[in-house]
């Protein structure tokens, strides 16, 4: 049977765009459908605009630091939210346009509409009374933020709306303990909002190394962020004085804004997956094998919609691997082990590999190297910020299993550490690297003494 396209991609985020471009440049007839703006979560409502907001919010702390280095008059600086939002929107539009241009230069057709599956080879273009056929289909629709089902939740926003608020809230309650929650807590606090972070668990950033979690929460509180743990929302009440959040511990908090950062879910609703034989996992993600192939023979899926590792660079690598496998006769699967990641909290986190708890569970005995110190810039003006560096090493083989950092430039530093961890470097090889002085990064290659936890209450 002759099809109109060799490949039809549903979703023009980072993963879908990479797959479409590589396939098109390999000679395939490709179409890409996007119901919103080209660029996906990362470019439009995620990593990129959020990083701009982080940059903006850091200046308030930079101004305080500058005074310690002899600068004066910076305390009178004012932040204008509308000016920033306008500049941010212009830059996001430019980046989205680059994605469009790259698709068109590769020879792919771009459809600005929602697409759903009618069967395994037929796609309906919603609202245009049109269907197209394709030999192969790639689903790259990403994820969407979710709100909990509680009274008054309609009064709250998610991260999607946070990028387009008309005014900067004087106070905000952020609900959640993941990377989105802690990043926006730092953003709003840095811009001048009074911030409360509410999380139902015992500490923020579940799944991260325990030392990292403890260290970041302490540093966030130093910056004026109030963290409420082991507590949940029961309802939100809209009043003339603001949004009243009622907590399960009986406490009420009134803020101008409430933001839910309680998780994201794969965007699969009404895509017609069942009509094409595409199965979902128990968590509602598209089920795929190591080559991103679904349970339908001619349909693949990459990125957040598969809920493997929900990071933009991972989606790009999955999209590249798909195109290599299917259109370049080069079977390729992306290795999801030892993927480095950053949390653009304030201070930021960089991490790769196993946490201490994961390592102890997998290999048994481990050696821990750990330092907590004041960065050089901070010591100059007698600041109280602290950085954390930690390495987890297999005691038997001396292989470095995990590297974790909280502090200035952690995301930049962890990228290089990730190369070493991915290569299977040993602690001795790591130690053979000469330090770059004076830097914070040199602490990683000068840690020689194993860390022995102090006993608390007679228990180590």
> Which residues are tagged catalytic?
437
Q: How far apart are alpha carbons 250 and 228 in whole angstroms?
A: 13
Q: How far apart are alpha carbons 48 and 50 in whole angstroms?
A: 5
Provide DSSP, 393-435.
EETTT-BEEEEEEESTTHHHHHHHHHHHHHHT-BHHHHHTSPP
Beta strands 122-125 and 115-119 are: antiparallel
3-state secondary structure of 304: helix
**Cα→Cα distances 167→75, 84, 238, Å:** 22, 11, 18
In degrees to the nearest 10, what's the CA dihedral of 424, 425, 426, 429? 160
CA 109 to chain centre: 29
Q: How far apart are alpha carbons 152 and 258 in whole angstroms?
A: 10
455: DSSP letter? P
Q: How many CB atoms are closer than 10 A to CB 415?
A: 12
Could you give phi then psi for residue 450, rounded to 5 degrees?
A: -65, 140
Strand positions, DSSP E, 256-358 = 257-260, 264-266, 299-301, 341-343, 349-353
Residues ≥6 apart with Cβ < 8 Å to 418: 338, 339, 340, 352, 403
Q: Which is nearest to 187 in space by CA: 374, 342, 60?
A: 60
Are 309 and 339 in contact by the 8 Å Cβ rule? The answer is yes
Q: How far apart are alpha carbons 179 and 389 in whole angstroms?
A: 19
Are 161 and 242 in contact by the 8 Å Cβ rule? The answer is no
**Cα→Cα distances 415→114, 320, 404, 412, 439, Å:** 36, 20, 11, 6, 16
Are 146 and 264 in contact by the 8 Å Cβ rule? The answer is yes
């Amino acid at each position: 049977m002759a099809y109109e396209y060799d490949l039809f991609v549903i979703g023009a985020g980072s993963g879908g765009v990479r797959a479409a471009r590589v396939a098109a440049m390999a000679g395939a007839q490709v179409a890409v459908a996007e119901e919103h703006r080209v660029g996906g979560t990362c470019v439009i409502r995620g990593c990129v605009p959020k990083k701009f907001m982080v940059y903006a919010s850091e200046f308030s702390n930079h101004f305080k630091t500058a005074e310690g280095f002899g600068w004066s008059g910076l305390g009178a600086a004012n932040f204008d939210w509308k000016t920033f939002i306008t500049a941010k929107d212009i830059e996001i539009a430019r980046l989205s346009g680059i994605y469009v241009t790259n698709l068109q230069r590769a020879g792919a057709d771009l459809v600005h509409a929602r697409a759903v599956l009618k069967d395994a080879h037929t796609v309906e273009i919603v609202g245009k009374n049109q269907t197209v056929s394709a030999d192969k289909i790639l689903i790259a629709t990403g994820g969407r933020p979710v709100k909990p089902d509680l009274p008054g939740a309609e009064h709250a926003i998610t991260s999607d709306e946070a990028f387009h608020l008309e005014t900067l809230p004087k106070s905000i309650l952020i609900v959640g303990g993941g990377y989105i929650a802690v990043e926006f807590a730092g953003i709003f606090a840095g811009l001048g909002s009074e911030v409360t972070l509410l999380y139902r668990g015992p500490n923020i950033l579940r799944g991260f190394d325990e030392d990292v979690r403890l260290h970041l929460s302490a540093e966030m509180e130093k910056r004026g962020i109030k963290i409420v743990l082991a507590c949940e929302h029961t309802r939100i009440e809209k009043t003339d004085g603001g949004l009243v959040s009622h907590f399960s511990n009986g406490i009420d908090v009134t803020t101008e804004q409430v933001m839910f950062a309680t998780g994201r879910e794969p965007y699969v609703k009404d895509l017609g997956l069942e009509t094409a034989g595409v199965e979902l996992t128990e968590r509602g993600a598209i089920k795929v094998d190591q080559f991103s192939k679904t349970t339908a023979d001619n349909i693949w899926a990459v990125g957040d919609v598969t809920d493997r590792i929900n990071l933009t660079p991972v989606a790009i690598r999955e999209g590249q691997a798909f195109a290599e496998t299917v259109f370049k006769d080069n079977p390729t699967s992306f290795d999801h082990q030892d993927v480095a990641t950053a949390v653009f909290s304030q201070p930021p986190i960089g991490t790769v590999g196993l946490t201490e708890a994961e390592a102890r569970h997998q290999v048994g005995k481990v050696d821990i190297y750990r330092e907590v110190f004041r960065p050089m810039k901070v010591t100059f003006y007698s600041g109280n910020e602290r950085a954390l560096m930690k390495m987890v090493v297999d005691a038997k083989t001396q292989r470095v299993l995990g590297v974790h950092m909280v502090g200035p430039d952690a995301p930049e530093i962890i990228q290089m550490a990730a190369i070493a961890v991915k290569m299977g470097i040993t602690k001795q090889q790591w130690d053979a690297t000469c330090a770059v002085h004076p830097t914070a990064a040199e602490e990683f290659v000068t840690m020689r003494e194993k860390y022995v936890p102090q006993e608390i209450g007679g228990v180590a």
